[in-house]
Chains A and B, each alone.
Chain A
Amino acid sequence: MVLSKTWQNFFRETGEMSRFTWRFFAHGFKPRYEFAEFFRQCFLIGYKSLPLIGLTGFILGLVLTLQLRPSLIDYGVESQLPAMVGIAIVREIGPVITALIFAGKIGSSIGAELGSMKVTEQIDAMEVSGTNPFKYLVVTRVLAATLMLPVLVILSDGISLYGSYLGVNIRGITSFNLFFKQVFDALSFSDLSPAFIKTFFFGFAVGMIGCYKGYNSQKGTEGVGRSANSAVVVSSLLIFIIDLVVVQVTDILGLN
């Protein structure tokens, strides 16, 4: 059985990525911990992403409300607008859109940063100087991405709901209290918890793919660009695949 070059590459890369992931778990939880670098990455990955993600979240909530409104008016259930927007944002759109923007911003930056370090042989130099480059560069970034994305998603959800509240008030009038009462009346733990848990996986996937692509970039500066590009593409794709898996699992567990 002869596999085509494309398939060979695909399986080779999958295997290498699995080994890379295994290496993360093997090294990541052993001392010595790079706390300072971890917090710095958290600051860069989390805090620095907040304006972008906050803005997109706000626009997302506002637009979603304005788009849903005519359809709901057709059905005569305009009063259900907060509940519907709330469920849509918290369950699906908030986590996925935030993760995609996160992948675009963080995945590409990690891929480019590590890629350029790789091609300028900084990583090799680090190894020589006695620092474990994998721990210092990869573990901190992956952990930071994994832990920061959920925080970003929660904040983004909140901002989106506020945008939605403003969206409702553009055409109609509702009080802040009533709006959020309706949103939380419609929500249950089975809406919030799977959506929250899957953001850890999204963050992990973005960090992991970005690091893998950067850590393994080749062919000089051209390779850096390719690493950044493919980091974004693959992590975005993985986000949707993870989303699909999570929805199946929650369905089987009866959380829907």
Chain B
Amino acid sequence: MAKRTFNNIKLGIFVLAGLVLLIFALYMIGRDANLFGSNFVLKARFENVQGLTAGNNIRYAGIQVGTVRRVKILNDTLIEVTLLIEERMKPFIHKNDIVSIGTDGLMGNKLINIVPAKDGSPPVKEDDILATKKTVGTEEMMETLNKTNLNLVLISEDIKNTIRRINSSNALWKILDEPTLPDNLRTSMANIQKTTAEANEVVIGLHSIINDVKNGKGSLGAILTDTSIASNLNDAVAKIQRVGDNANQLADELTNLTRQVKQDVNNGKGTVNALLKDSSLVIKLNSSLVNIEQGTAGFNQVMEALKHNFLLRGYFRKLEKEKKKEEASINKTVSMP
């Protein structure tokens, strides 16, 4: 009988050990699924959940803080994910924090990452909807890589063609093989340097000129900057205009005058007409001129007679001597140097 009791105690211990282990396992699994302890609910909406399912982990800045409770389709472009998060995290999660879907390791389970916003927004409340960020999925990455590869194929083809053309070009290689090329290039560079230095100076000069002009120095500056010139020019132009008007009037008067003269000439009136048309006047003038000629010849004879007169001879000799002296001094000055 005592043995049976002892056996029963052993049996009890055995069964209890099994039960304890079972409860421990259930508790451990349940704790991971956040079935025990206080939790609160947040929501996030995605276009694509990339295979996220209920029970996947939620991490806040890398810390395990809860699990996904439900994934529900709202409409054809929106999926609502209900997040079950430990109550103790409530003060740390803020309204502006961003939710994204990530992967545990390279090939692991999907999980939810809550990225702290760090902008001092207020803490979340129950059932708040957090903003989400679209992450690049493997498929999208592969698609982009595929495009990149195609581009690379084209680019490498082009590079191949270019290099082939470069290799087959004689002219280019001739240029590259030319031994004097470096020296020439060097001198060219030196020339270019000199030229640019000079150009620089020119530019500096131009700059100072422009500055002077700007400041109203010099005539060009005065022209460009002096405002009174404009009014002077205006006056000058007005005067020119007036002169022009007067000239016009003068021309009119001259026209009238010539017209009158013409009329007078044709009609035989006035002095001009007499000069041009009267033939008797010409004869009279001719005879007058002959008389004057005869008069001057007589006067010449009188003058010669006076020279030979003893009263006036001394005077004429004196005149001749002075004349000779003057000529001699002129000759002296010419032969001096």
Q: Does B107 interact with chain A (Cβ within 8 Å)?
A: yes
Q: Which residues of A contact B10 (CB under 8 A)?
A: 43, 47
Most chain-A CB neighbours within 10 Å: which of B15, B18, B33? B18
Contact (Cβ within 8 A) B55 A188: yes
Mask of A51-92 contacts with B, CB within 8 angstroms, 1/0: 000000000000000000000000001000000000000100
Chain B: residues with Cβ within 8 Å of the partner, total of 22
Question: 1/0 per residue A135-154: CB within 8 Å of B?
Answer: 00000000000000011101
* Binding stretch for chain B, among A11-19, A34-42, A116-124: A34-42
| Nearest-CB residue, chain A, relative to B22 | A154
The secondary structure that dominates the A interface is helix
Closest chain B CB from A24 CB (angstroms):
22
Number of A-B contacts (CB under 8 A): 64
Find residues 164-222 in chain A having any chain B CB closer than 8 Å to their own CB: 180, 184-185, 187-189, 191-192, 196
Please indicate the chain B residues that have their CB under 8 angstroms from the CB of A152 in the complex: 18
Q: Is A155 interfacial (CB 8 A cutoff)?
A: yes
Chain B contacts of A180 at CB under 8 A?
28
* B199 part of interface (Cβ distance < 8 Å): no
Contact between chains at A185 and B18 (CB < 8 Å): no
Residues of B within 8 A of A191 (CB): 29
* Residues A158 and B21 in contact in the complex (CB < 8 Å), given A39-B8, A151-B14, A188-B55: yes
Would you call A192 and B26 a contact (CB within 8 A)? yes
* Residue A223 lies at the interface, judged by CB distance under 8 Å to chain B: no
A77 touching B107, Cβ below 8 Å: yes
Given contacts A40-B4, A151-B19, contact A46 B11 (CB under 8 A): yes
| A50: interface (CB < 8 Å) | yes
The answer to whether B18 and A36 have CB atoms under 8 Å apart is no
How many residues in A have their beta carbons less than 8 Å from beta carbons of B? Answer: 26
A150–B18 contact, CB under 8 A? yes
Q: With contacts A189-B33, A192-B26 known, is A46 near B14, CB below 8 A?
A: yes
Check A39/B17 contact, CB under 8 A, given A184-B28, A188-B33, A188-B55: no
- Is A42 a contact partner of B18 (Cβ separation < 8 A)? no
Partner of B7, one of A43, A187, A189, A192: A43
Contact pick for B29, options A40, A50, A151, A192, CB 8 Å: A192
Min distance, Cβ B62 to any Cβ of chain A, angstroms: 15
A residues near B15, Cβ cutoff 8 Å: 42, 46, 151
List of A residues within 8 angstroms of B282 by Cβ: none
* B window 13-38: CB within 8 A of A: 14-15, 17-19, 21-22, 25-26, 28-33
A43 near B18: Cβ-Cβ < 8 Å: no
Report Cα–Cα, A156/B11, bound state, in Å: 16
B19 proximity list for chain A (CB < 8 A): 151, 154
Q: A151-B15, A184-B28, A188-B33 are in contact. Are A36 and B21 (CB under 8 A)?
A: no
Looking at the assembled complex, report how far the CB atom of A166 sits from the nearest CB atom of chain B, in whole angstroms: 18
Nearest Cβ in chain B — how far from A227, in angstroms? 26
Is the beta-carbon distance between A43 and B8 smaller than 8 angstroms?
yes
Q: How far is the CA of A151 from the CA of B15 in the complex (A)?
A: 6
Nearest CB on A from B157, distance (A): 36
Residues of B within 8 A of A77 (CB): 107
**Closest residue to B27 on the A side, CB-wise?**
A184
Shortest Cβ-Cβ A-B pairs, 7 listed: A151-B18, A184-B28, A43-B11, A43-B7, A47-B14, A154-B18, A154-B22
12 contacts between A and B (CB under 8 A): A36-B4, A39-B11, A40-B4, A42-B11, A42-B15, A43-B10, A47-B10, A187-B25, A187-B28, A188-B55, A189-B26, A192-B26
Beyond known contacts A154-B25, A192-B25: 10 more, CB 8 A cutoff: A36-B4, A46-B14, A151-B19, A155-B17, A184-B25, A184-B28, A184-B31, A187-B28, A189-B29, A192-B26
List chain A positions with a Cβ less than 8 A from chain B. Answer: 36, 39-40, 42-43, 46-47, 50, 77, 90, 150-152, 154-155, 157-158, 180, 184-185, 187-189, 191-192, 196
